[in-house]
């Protein structure tokens, strides 16, 4: 009797095994990633060795042995050779069209002195004699001395025959040379535009060339626009650049949605290698025509590749230029509290209405007064519309009031922050902290405090304000030091994050901000196979080495869209 039972049990086991084998070999995976060290950002299975992909989505995650069962004759096998894999990183705040243009313009990020500033401009002009306008970005305020701003004469000395227009690194201040001011018709009598300031010589009243906020448009509107073909080529290069950095979704924070048809054209050509969430710049009050355009955009572009259904308010300026809206005056500028760009009540009403219509709202708010108004308005919208799931965000949050930090979690407001804005260099200490004083600077970029209050963090770059590369940003979140290691131990080290928290903000946190956490943000069965392979294991190196990380492979929807030339782990798996 016992032998008969064993015989029957064996037969049943063989039947089940054969059935399982048939089931797997009949529908094998398109691609398997093997021999990896996968950090999944999935609390139920944080670590794995391998994963299987079919039809662009993750079919299985587990050990090498478990995933080997999903291989078939035509399965592409990627041998990670022990490398670290992560969910595709996301950038929670970019300006793609501006970044694409900047790839071809003057880059002033490396200028540390006035001499270097002038040399970069001079060398670029000499190398591009065919350019009718010299454009660029990236200069920092500290180059010109504490509390000082540049002057058009610095540019006139090196380029006088052509107009020059150079945005500061933050994008909120620009410098024009005399030729550009002449073309724009800016004289002593030119009034400041709404939400803008033409900086003038206090003795003569003459424009110095510095244009704050909207005043920059007085010159920028005279710059000949690129052709559509030039824009397409620039944007395609920028998207490929993003893929090379491991970015699989980018959240545009304005000025891209107006050109959404370019992104769509790139998609139709098969060259869109990253996903995009886009926000429309919006004014308060919001007009019926604007709402109609928003509705049409949301209806037309709302899939996993292009989602143009968010809105963006620019509520204040920046601390360095004293245009961020503060509750108390700036240090050594007692008559100035910055400015709000909209009437507070009109902004609140617009937020309530857009919230009612289901549009996720992003608000640029840097100063504590602007941050408080944004939080107050979101709270009013939650109450008016009886919902708290709108994915509303505040962008930047550089100097919040201590009273408002816990409100992010209580109101379910996403904190969209840019780690490299907190780089504790000379510009930060002299221009940023020096503008608001030590007491308010104690609350600078409070990542940990906001997270500790139960809020969701979403991290990004604000490219082209700083590099699009996320890995120096991850390092900054862990160290709050410059790349050179200063100040030792970090600037306000209590606001540092753990590596797990940093990765979360670039993956699931940003996915939540984009409304895509059910299909992206972690390596889980059923989600899109958006995965990256790294040159080094972030968990096994010192924090101050993370910024040197390179991406070896980027996969989006199961398709390899970028592979480093030095990586030979998957030469046969590059999707056709």
pLDDT tens, residue by residue, 409-453:
999 999 999 999 999 998 899 899 999 999 999 999 999 999 999
Say what angle helices 499-506 and 471-479 make with each other, to 10 degrees.
140
Contacts of 113 (CB under 8 A, 6+ apart): 143
> To the nearest 10°, the Cα dihedral for 459, 366, 137, 205?
180
- What pLDDT shows up at residue 109? 85
Q: Cis peptide leading into 474, omega within 30 of 0?
A: no
Q: What is the pLDDT of residue 21?
A: 40
Q: Report residue 250 as tokens.
A: 């980018």
Q: If DSSP codes are grouped into helix, strand and coil, which group holds residue 522?
A: coil
Its pTM stands at: 0.88
Residue 4: pLDDT band by 50, 70, 90 thresholds?
A: low
What is the percent of the chain with per-residue pLDDT over 90, rounded to a whole number?
A: 89
CA–CA gap between residue 562 and residue 245 (Å, rounded): 9
Average pLDDT over residues 368-377: 98
Q: What integer best gives the mean pLDDT of the chain?
A: 93
> If pLDDT is split at 50, 70 and 90, which confidence band does 570 have?
low
Mean pLDDT, rounded, for 531-558:
98
Domains in the chain, CATH or no CATH each: 2-82 (2.30.40.10), 96-220 (3.10.310.70), 228-522+529-556 (3.20.20.140)
Examine the pLDDT at 23 and tell me if it is beyond 50. no
CA nearest neighbour of 447 among 426, 427, 473 = 473
Q: How many CB atoms lie within 10 A of CB 193?
A: 15
pLDDT at 289: 96
In the predicted model, is pLDDT for residue 10 greater than 80?
no
Confidence category of residue 574, pLDDT binned at 50, 70, 90? very low
Peptide bond into 285 cis (omega under 30): yes
- Cα–Cα dist 7/12, whole Å: 9
Q: Is pLDDT at 16 greater than 80 in this prediction?
A: no
pLDDT tens-digit readout, 377-389: 999 999 999 988 8
Band of the pLDDT at 18, cuts 50, 70, 90? very low
The residue with tokens 């244009």 is 211
Query: Tens digit of pLDDT for each residue in 136-193?
Result: 999 999 899 877 899 999 999 999 999 999 999 888 899 999 999 999 999 999 999 9
Residue 20 is predicted with a pLDDT of 42
Indicate the pLDDT class of residue 14, thresholds 50, 70 and 90.
Answer: very low
What pLDDT does 17 receive?
Answer: 40
Answer whether residue 106 shows pLDDT above 90: yes
Query: For residues 336 and 327, what is the distance between their CA atoms, to the nearest angstrom?
Result: 10
Residue 417 CA, distance from chain mean position: 8
Burial 299-323 (b: 16+ CB within 10 A, else e): eebeeeebbbbbbbbbbbbbbbbbb
Measured CA to CA, the distance from residue 484 to residue 142 in angstroms comes to 18
């Amino acid at each position: 009797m016992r032998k008969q039972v064993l015989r029957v049990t064996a037969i049943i086991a063989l039947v089940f095994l054969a059935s399982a084998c048939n089931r797997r070999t009949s529908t094998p995976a398109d691609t398997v990633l093997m021999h990896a060290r996968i950090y999944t950002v999935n609390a139920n299975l944080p670590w794995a060795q391998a994963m299987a992909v079919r039809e662009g989505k993750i079919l299985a995650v587990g050990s090498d042995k478990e995933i080997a069962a999903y291989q078939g004759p035509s399965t592409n096998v990627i041998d990670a050779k022990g490398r670290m894999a992560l969910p595709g990183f996301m950038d929670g705040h970019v300006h793609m069209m501006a970044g694409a243009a900047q790839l071809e313009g003057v880059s002033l990020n490396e200028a540390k002195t006035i001499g270097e500033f002038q040399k970069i401009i001079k060398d670029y002009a000499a190398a591009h004699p065919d350019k009718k306008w010299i454009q660029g970005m990236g200069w920092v305020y500290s180059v010109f001395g504490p509390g000082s701003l540049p002057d058009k004469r610095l540019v006139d000395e090196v380029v006088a025959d052509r107009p020059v227009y150079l945005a500061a690194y933050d994008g909120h201040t620009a410098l024009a040379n005399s030729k550009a001011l002449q073309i724009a018709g800016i004289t002593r009598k030119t009034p400041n535009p709404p939400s803008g300031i033409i900086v003038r010589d206090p003795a003569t009243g003459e424009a110095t060339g510095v244009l704050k906020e909207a005043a920059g448009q007085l010159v920028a509107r005279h710059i000949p626009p690129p052709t559509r073909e030039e824009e397409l080529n620039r944007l395609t290069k920028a998207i490929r650049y993003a893929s090379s950095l491991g970015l699989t979704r980018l959240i545009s924070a304005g000025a891209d949605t107006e050109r959404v048809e370019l992104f769509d054209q790139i998609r139709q050509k098969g060259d869109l290698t990253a996903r995009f969430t886009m926000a429309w710049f919006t004014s308060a009050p919001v007009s019926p025509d604007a709402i109609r355009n928003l509705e049409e955009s949301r209806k037309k572009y709302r899939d996993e590749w292009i989602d143009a259904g968010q809105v963006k308010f620019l509520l204040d300026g920046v601390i360095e230029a004293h245009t961020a809206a503060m509750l108390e005056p700036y240090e050594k500028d007692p008559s100035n509290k910055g400015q709000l760009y909209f009437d507070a009540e009109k902004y609140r009403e617009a937020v309530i209405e857009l919230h009612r219509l289901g549009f996720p709202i992003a608000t640029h708010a840097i100063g504590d007064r602007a941050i408080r108004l944004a939080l107050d308005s979101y709270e009013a919208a939650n109450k008016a519309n009886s919902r708290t799931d709108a994915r509303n965000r505040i962008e930047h949050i550089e100097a919040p009031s201590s009273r408002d930090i816990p409100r992010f979690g209580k109101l379910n407001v996403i904190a969209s922050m840019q780690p490299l804005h907190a780089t504790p260099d000379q510009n930060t200490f002299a221009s940023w902290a020096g503008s608001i004083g030590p007491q308010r600077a104690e609350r600078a970029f409070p990542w940990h405090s906001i997270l500790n209050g139960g809020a969701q963090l979403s991290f990004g770059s604000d490219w082209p304000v700083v590099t699009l590369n996320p890995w120096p940003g991850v390092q900054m979140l862990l160290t709050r030091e410059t790349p050179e290691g200063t100040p030792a131990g970090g600037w306000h080290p209590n606001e540092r994050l753990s590596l797990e928290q940093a990765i979360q903000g670039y993956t699931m946190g940003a996915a939540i901000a984009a409304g895509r956490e059910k299909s992206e943000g972690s390596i889980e069965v059923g989600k899109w196979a958006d995965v990256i392979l790294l040159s080094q294991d972030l968990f096994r190196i010192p924090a101050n080495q993370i910024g040197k990380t390179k991406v070896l492979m980027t996969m989006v929807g199961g398709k390899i869209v970028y592979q480093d030339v030095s990586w030979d782990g998957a030469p046969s798996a590059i999707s056709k």
